[in-house]
Amino acid sequence: MFESLSDRLDSAFKNLKGEGKITDLNVAATVKEIRRALVDADVNYKIAKEFTDTVREKATGEKVITAISPSQLMVKIVKDELVSLMGGEATELNAKGAPAVILIAGLQGSGKTTFSGKLANYLKKQKKLSPLLVAADVYRPAAMEQLRVLGEQIGVDVHLELENKNPVEIAQNAIREARAKNKNVVIIDTAGRLAVDEAMMTEVANIKSAVNPTEILFVVDSMTGQDAVNTAKAFNDRLDFSGVVLTKLDGDTRGGAALSIKYTVEKPIKFVSSGEKLDTLDVFYPERMAQRILGMGDITTLVEKAQAQFDEEQAKKLEKKIRKNQFDFADFKQQLEQIKKMGNIKDLLAMIPGVGKAIKDIDISDDAFKGIEAIINSMTLHERANPDVIDSSRRKRIAKGSGKDISEVNAFMKQFEQMREMMKMMNKMPMGGKMMPGMR
């Protein structure tokens, strides 16, 4: 995400390395590079100019603090300005109401339907609400079917009226259904068009005036850069939406949309979505995004993702097994599954400060675990629970079953053994390997 922008900013800061203090001259060169980097990331020129003017003003106005080098000072100023450009504080979604009504609008293909599913899943899991999804795209039966399937996957009811061609009526009926079934939040997925078009706007505006939404979220594909910003403006002029959702941040996004939308429409980005997995929706935090752009990682999000997948009961059971030296292949497999649920592996690693840059050219796909999983899947349940019984003839069978070479199976078995040895050693350490009070 935003790799090229991150690199360019980094090299702009390097200009100041070795400089004793900030001068009009060295700051001018740095600021110019920052401006170019922003424009190349598809940030509107006017915004980029205003941004760098502020940065210059702040940098030259700072008192010389000997403890901080000019390049560190510049990073700090740019970070603060990025945070402010993206909206400062995070803005919560308002999902209060009986029911709360959330209208989802945007162009076709922007990711509305996928986001509707993710949002329902998020509200159900994180906010313990009971959502109802509504398919109000009456033009594309496939869109209705897509929402039905999503609802099934996440265990959320979907209001469908296949024969009804009136989206306003569908929305109203859905709200009635929600009241009757005690659902507390209704998510209406509306129809989009390929480009901004009057009929589409009128339709969404009509739904808006009929259902009086608690929130109107405008969904936009972040890969479309300046177009995203222009589309946002058109939708906002007509709908006066309450927040923006940026999708497809997992793609080759340069950053223009994320950096310019708030400035242009004066509405906060509320969520960012990367990937098609239904549990990869993130609340948008300007501070964390700025840190990621500047290659500082995002440990807070990483920890939150881990916590969201953390299962107390399972963890206790696992701890007991480790204490008794009984960690086996079934546990290993369960751990892998938990990590995978947290999202794309490369994105996760990039949240660790400094790691993103180091691994940016390395291909780490989610398939990385596939080989290991295939090997474990080829073991019998007895073998998984009793790793010691796996002798060479069993290894041959496992290699065949998993389509792996025997050397790969042997290497994996060896790694697993080393891991178990390490766990044993930890158990023998004073306090059972706990480095700090309360540590597992």
Identify the CA nearest to 331 among candidates 392, 418, 420: 420
Helix axes 24-40, 45-61, angle to 10 degrees: 150
Tokens of 208: 């808006």
Q: Which is nearer to ligand GDP, 44 or 273 (CB)?
A: 273
Question: d(Cα 7, Cα 295) in Å, to the nearest integer?
Answer: 9
Among 113, 121, 291, 301, binds ligand GDP (CB under 6 A): 113
Instruction: For the chain, give percent helix, strand, coil, nearest 5.
Output: 60, 10, 30
Q: Is 264 annotated as a binding residue?
A: no
Q: 285, 289, 306, 286: which is closest to 348 by C-alpha?
A: 306
Q: Binding residue per annotation — 110?
A: yes
Single residue of 70, 111, 151, 295 touching ligand GDP by CB under 6 A: 111
Q: Is 294 annotated as a binding residue?
A: no
The stretch near ligand GDP (CB under 6 A) out of 34-42, 71-79, 177-185, 272-280 is 272-280
Is 112 annotated for ligand binding?
yes
How, if at all, do strands 185-190 and 131-136 pair?
A: parallel
CB of 186 to ligand GDP, least distance (A): 17
**One residue of 192, 213, 255, 297 binding ligand GDP per CB under 6 A:** 192
- For CA atoms 292, 294, 295, 297, give the dihedral sign: negative
Q: Which stretch binds ligand GDP (CB under 6 A): 274-282, 298-306, 336-344, 384-392?
A: 274-282
Alpha helices by DSSP H, listed for 41-140, are 45-61, 70-85, 112-125
189 known member of a binding site: yes
Q: Tell me the CB-side half-sphere exposure of residue 344, using CA atoms within 13 A.
A: 19
From the list 110, 184, 378, 402, which residue makes contact with ligand GDP (rule: CB under 6 A)? 110
Question: Is residue 349 marked as binding?
Answer: no
Q: Is 108 among the residues that bind ligand GDP (CB under 6 A)?
A: yes
How far is 303 from 263, CA to CA, in rounded Å? Answer: 30
The CB-of-248 to ligand GDP minimum distance in angstroms stands at: 4
Q: How far is the CB of 108 from ligand GDP (least distance, A)?
A: 4
Alpha helices, DSSP H, located in 89-218: 112-125, 141-154, 167-180, 198-211
What are the backbone dihedrals phi and psi of residue 158, each rounded to the nearest 5 degrees, phi first?
Answer: -125, 130
Cβ distance 106 to 95 under 8 Å?
A: no
# residues near ligand GDP by CB under 6 A:
17
Residue range at the interface with ligand GDP (CB under 6 A); choices 26-34, 69-77, 270-278, 369-377: 270-278
| Per-residue binding letters, 334-353, with ligand GDP (x by CB under 6 A) | --------------------
Q: Is 231 annotated as a binding residue?
A: no
Binding mask 219-258 for ligand GDP (x = CB under 6 A): ----------------------------xx-xx-------
Q: How many CB atoms lie within 10 A of CB 97?
A: 15
Residue 167 in the binding site for ligand GDP (CB under 6 A): no
109 near ligand GDP (CB under 6 A):
yes
Tell which one of 231, 273, 301, 402 touches ligand GDP (CB under 6 A).
273
| Binding flag, residue 121, ligand GDP (CB under 6 A) | no
**Nearest residue (CB) to ligand GDP, 278 versus 385:** 278
Closest CA relative to residue 308, chosen from 96, 122, 89: 122
* 437: preceding bond cis by omega (within 30 degrees): no
Note whether 173 and 156 are within 8 A (CB): no
99 binds ligand GDP (CB under 6 A): no
Nearer to ligand GDP, 75 or 105 (CB): 105
Residues 124, 128, 134, CA angle at the centre, nearest 5°?
Answer: 35
Coil, strand or helix: which one is 394? helix
Least distance CB 142 / ligand GDP (angstroms): 9
Annotated binding site for GTP, which residues?
106-113, 189-193, 247-250
The residues that touch ligand GDP, with contacts defined as CB under 6 A, are 106, 108-114, 192, 247-248, 250-251, 273-276
Annotated binding site, which residues?
106-113, 189-193, 247-250
